[in-house]
């Protein structure tokens, strides 16, 4: 794990700041600009490439939290989508190529 990754701070801030979460959902690039992300770290976040984030040394727990923040942060449907998308990324699949389950997930 690489504790110097700025993405760790991003996730913690998103977890605790509802206004930041809303801004991230509507203006992701603007929020990412606020953090000293490495170029490859930012690209991995933008591409939802959790496998690349983990290869950079992203904390596994925070990667799961980031998936929930991106794909759904509630118990039930949203959390299930987040888990499937995280696992798909770890398997090397891009989000747009991963078939959602039962009509859930990105289109």
Lowest mean pLDDT of 6-10, 64-68, 86-90, name the range: 86-90
CA-CA distance, 79 to 73, in Å (whole number)? 6
* pTM score, whole prediction: 0.77
CA dihedral 75, 73, 1, 39 (to 10 degrees): 160
| Mean pLDDT, rounded, for 79-99 | 72
| Mean pLDDT, rounded, for 42-70 | 93
pLDDT higher than 80, residue 104:
no
Token pair 């990105």 in the structure block, residue: 106
Q: Which domain range does residue 23 map to?
A: 6-97
Q: Please, are residues 83 and 27 in contact by the beta-carbon 8 Å criterion?
A: no
Angle at 64 between CA 62 and CA 66, to 5 degrees: 70
CA-to-CA dists, residue 105 to 7, 18, 48, 83, 91, angstroms: 23, 22, 13, 11, 17
Give domain status of residue 91, yes or no.
yes
pLDDT higher than 60, residue 42:
yes
Q: Which of 30-44, 65-79, 81-95 has the highest mean pLDDT?
A: 30-44
pLDDT value for 29: 97
Domain count, the chain: 1
Give domain status of residue 10, yes or no.
yes
Give domain status of residue 80, yes or no.
yes
Please report, for the domain that includes residue 12, its CATH number: 1.10.700.10
Q: How many CB atoms lie within 10 A of CB 92?
A: 10
Lowest mean pLDDT of 9-18, 34-43, 61-70, name the range: 61-70
């Amino acid at each position: 794990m690489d504790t110097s990754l700025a993405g760790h701070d991003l996730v913690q801030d998103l977890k605790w700041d509802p206004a930041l979460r809303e801004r991230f959902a509507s203006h992701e690039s603007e929020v990412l600009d606020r953090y000293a992300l490495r170029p490859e770290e930012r690209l991995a976040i933008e591409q939802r490439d959790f496998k690349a984030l983990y290869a950079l040394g992203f904390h596994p727990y925070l990667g799961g939290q980031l998936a929930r923040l991106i794909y759904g942060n509630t118990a039930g449907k949203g959390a299930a989508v987040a888990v499937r998308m995280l696992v798909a990324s770890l398997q090397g699949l891009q989000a747009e190529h991963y078939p959602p389950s039962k009509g859930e997930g990105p289109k």
